[in-house]
Amino acid sequence: MATVKVGSNLSLQIGKDCHQHGVVTEEIDGLIKVYKDGHVERPQIVPCVTSALAPELGVTSWDIVVDKFTNIWARFYVPNKCHGKLPLLVYFHGGGFCVGSAAWSCYHDFLARLAAKASCIIMSVNYRLAPENPLPAAYDDGIKALMWLKQQALSVGADNRWTTQCNFSNMFLAGDSAGANIAFNIIARLDSFNAGQAAAAMKPLTLKGIILIQPFFGGETRTNSEKYLVQSPRSTLSLAASDTYWRLALPSGTNRDHPWCNPLAKGSVNLEDLMTFPIMVCISEMDILKNRNLEFVDSLGRADKRVEHFVHKGVGHGFQILSKSQLSQTRALEMMSQIKRFISGI
């Protein structure tokens, strides 16, 4: 099983010859700049770190290549002390499909602490980014990661020490922002089969639930929180940034009512036929996506889905990874406890 070292060589770099690329067609200040000739710059706004962790966390982490041809890799987190086999949480990072990495320091810290708190093994998937790889590339990578996991489960007892600690029949999909969108759309793809076919295709993996943290959805019609919620200048997601991410990520010629963006739009997935397992949705009170996320939860409820949601007061989009305020840290601990209860209660 191949491993991969992640460090400065995989960091998001600024091109030294950026002045040579001409007209900028899309830009989110400090995060991404796209030129007319197709060149893309991503400033290293968040440092990329290796898998090393402080010993006192009680978690071991390492990186593994999932698919060398598309450069998909994953970072694993395994608690050092465990009683019996542990649940498996497959996690997708956020970043509007266009930025972000499983090696970002903020995700490394958050997921290491979550693995320790929730007593679970976490596989953090590093998928391909738009606009170089527009959707559905990220969804394809998510499915490929699950198929890779299936092969690991079938080869338990070989040279994979972590697989002996993993309960592959107790698996959850999770993600924040665009990562939550990826988790949801992976389920939509799996459910395009009938339930029996999907379950058979996944064996011996058994999906028990899905955790969506501030899911990144959109739509042509603005919600009240998108129109009127006053954002801090330091907010991690503005309406303008959201629109830019969707223009870069969606297929050419589509708009924000595309089913991948708006699961409630006409022609999108039928929620009544989707997801027979429990769903957890985390919503931030100061997030422009608040109303859209609440509408999504209400629609799941009307479709008789087993859904529970939490509204984290006084914090905004991505607070659990990008804000160092005392309130954000308190809310992040609350979120981890809620995730732990969701995983252990199924």
| Catalytic residue ranges | 177
| Sheet arrangement for strand 24-28 | 24-28, 32-35, 40-41
Q: What are phi and psi of 63, to 5 degrees?
A: -110, 145
Structure tokens at 2: 């191949």
Half-sphere exposure of 260 (CA within 13 A, CB side): 22
Yes or no: say if 214 and 176 are a contact pair by the CB < 8 Å rule. Answer: yes
Yes or no: say if 277 and 289 are a contact pair by the CB < 8 Å rule. Answer: no
Task: Give the DSSP H or E segment for 130.
Answer: none
307: β partners: 279
How many other CB atoms sit within 10 Å of the CB of residue 262?
21
Q: Parallel, antiparallel, or unpaired: how do β-strands 207-213 and 166-176 relate? A: parallel
Q: What are phi and psi of 181, to 5 degrees?
A: -60, -40
